Structure 1
């Protein structure tokens, strides 16, 4: 058995009944900091299990990353025993997350009113695409639809010139997860002050829209608006082509721009009124970046990196995805760690990207097979072994048999059907 997690959130118990990416990513971040996370899955396993390359069925690469450090149980919520098991876990939990409709949770006997009556200290989190109420409430959604609705696809169109494009990662889910972690930690702090938990609701669409509008509300910050929306400079900036690659740089402040023109010997551009101040450069951002790009195309990336460093100007090469594994800074920081998974063999794990002087996080638990910890967790919750065995026989909960853990096999009548 792996040791209990350590870190600033050690001793915190989180029950995660979410199925999408937002909730599991949020609890992965919390678990990375030392919380005890129990993931609840249906008998067939969550959808994340089947995403990405895999050595065994139901143990895909995405699942292995998002569920590191957690324990997992498999429960049939359509059975009384299954619902009772989740309720009992909530009685002893600090945080409970779900991503079902309020009425569905009420039907399961797991609504906030039900759970908080048994555990007044619980932080009860409901995650949904659009929140409760409003014309979109209850509609199905996904990362693609939320990126489109929050204007991210349209913003990308201004860059590509080829129509709307999505960001090439699940930005909606991950932005929502960060907002959710922030809310959970704030609610726990409030609980420590008041002695009582509370219900917290997250709308991923609202969280995503806040990300977008906090950057691009621009002239619509004022009522009535005094200018259009969108920070023009951000739309015009891009990696600059050099003689042999691309350079990513920042020339934002007046002093940085002055040093760049001096470094390139372009006194004429240093005197150009269009580029004199930050406000001028924002107004003429396309012309500014065109002028800079023309200079950067004259030398190699390595030559420019040396010149920018000498002038104390920020610049880095535009790396490809595989380059990150060999990046000297990430290697020195220890971000990558090869660990041995009991069924999946050697896998590359990403470490917590923060450093702690007093309570460094340590969580050596692997991503679980389906139902791997069902018996263990239910025994800790106060069930007797005979009770757990009876629940398995009744197909209310499912447990991974040791010989079937590779590929997420389950033990119980369903395994033979």
Structure 2
């Protein structure tokens, strides 16, 4: 019989069992990456399933695009955790697991007997990863958190307002969920190394708000880095310039960054302003350009508006200045589906329906990764996992 371990043989996390009691985006995003590394990720779902199953268009109920693209390569076990017999099964599953990941509220976990103190009694080697909205030691402990809320609380809409039209806006992607999800992945990998050395597990908290705030401030602590300065002086001037945006050309848009001294000299001589480069100190060093960031970016904008996109792509590339087209989302998908890129691929379900999916982008030479199989239907693997992990039949 083919098992998860044999299917993933040779992959970095082959043989690692992860019990995944997460929903929505951050947790599923992280555990899908761990599944791509070869872990046997078992997604625990209640009878109603992960809420993301119903988001977006469907080819079949419960299999929306957000769910499909966050849960590939996993197995789904459907249990009513409110039933005493299900709790016993989960306790045994934790005993057979290396890692338990959850973003359920702490009170609910304790009520269900899925808290750290309970599960570690079943398995002292268990790595218990709790995905919190806010740090347990902080004033917002226990409060719910969603991407929009966290974006707002760490100041991203305010930064957008400073850089754009004065109106706060969220970034149009789940940047907090997925950024913190990457922290979850590296945390689990490090914890697995420690587990192998110490032969024991531990409780780990990954707080969404504090982690995302730290991530954002890596760019924007700015002058507040120096403790004598007021925190209001924080912010990265280059990133906050209203002119840091795609540039309009005669017939479209272009993305370029004139960044180093060499870039600036090459650009200014290319557009016939070599004399300005020679005499205007604003352009001649990173420090001076940062002081006058709006003026120097406005200069680039005015020059790029004089020619077409194709012309600039060629001229700037020839001058060794970083440049790229500015595609719409459909154009991006088409380009990434090409054989040369291979980021987007097509696959079929058992009924022959076609889907687009995302492939792992990091290239491993000896043990190459591959996109996991189709995301599981609700409870698709309940009997299989309970038999394989615990040698028991489904309790319900």
TM-score tier by shorter-chain length is over 0.9
**Partner of residue 284, structure 2:** 276
Q: Deviations over 1:103-129 (max 9, x none)?
A: 332222222122222212221100111
Give the aligned partner of residue 324 of structure 2: 316
Match of 1:212 in 2: 216
2:240 corresponds in structure 1 to 235
CA drift of 1:131 comes to 2.4
Give the conservation status (yes or no) of the 8 Å contact 1:72–1:372.
Answer: yes
For the Cα contact (< 8 Å) 2:42–2:74, is it kept in 1? yes
Partners in 2 of 1:145 and 1:384 — Cα distance? 42
1:51 & 1:344 partners in 2: Cα distance? Answer: 22
Q: Secondary structure at the match of 1:333?
A: coil
2:136 maps to which residue? Answer: 132
User: 1:180 deviation in Å?
Assistant: 0.9
Question: How far apart are 1:172 and its partner, in Å?
Answer: 1.3
Give secondary structure in 1 for the equivalent of 2:324.
Answer: strand
Matched with 1:365 is 373
CA–CA separation in structure 1 for the residues paired with 2:161 and 2:371:
41
Deviation at 1:170, TM superposition (A): 0.9
Task: Return the offset for 1:365.
Answer: 2.1
Q: Mark the CA change 1:384 to 1:198 in structure 2 (over 3 Å): closer, same or farther.
A: closer
- SS of the aligned residue for 1:274 comes to helix
Secondary structure at 1:185 match in 2: helix
Q: When the two structures are superposed, what TM-score results if normalisation uses the length of structure 1? A: 0.89
Shift of 1:258: 0.8
Task: Classify the secondary structure of the residue corresponding to 1:132.
Answer: coil
CA contact (8 A) 2:237 2:293 kept: yes
Deviation at 1:343, TM superposition (A): 4.8
Which digits, 9 at most, give the CA deviation of each residue in 1:360-399, with x for residues without a partner? 12354211111100010111122444xx2xx22xxxxxxx
SS in 2 for 1:307: helix
SS at match of 1:247: strand
Structure 2, unpaired ranges of 5+: none
Give the structure 2 partner of residue 404 of structure 1.
none
Q: CA RMSD in A?
A: 1.8
Match of 1:74 among 67, 74, 78: 78
Partners of 1:333 and 1:90 lie apart in 2 by: 39
- Superposition map of 1:45-124 within 5 A: 45-124=49-128
- Aligned residue in 2 for 1:327: 335
Residue 216 of structure 2: SS of its match in structure 1?
helix
Tell me the TM-score normalized by structure 2.
0.94
Tell me what 1:257 maps to: 264
Number of residue equivalences: 388
Separation in 1, partners of 2:58, 2:163: 35
Helix, strand or coil: the match of 1:332? coil
CA contact (8 A) 1:12 1:94 kept: yes
1:382 aligned to 2:385? no
Q: 2:294 aligns with which of 261, 281, 286?
A: 286
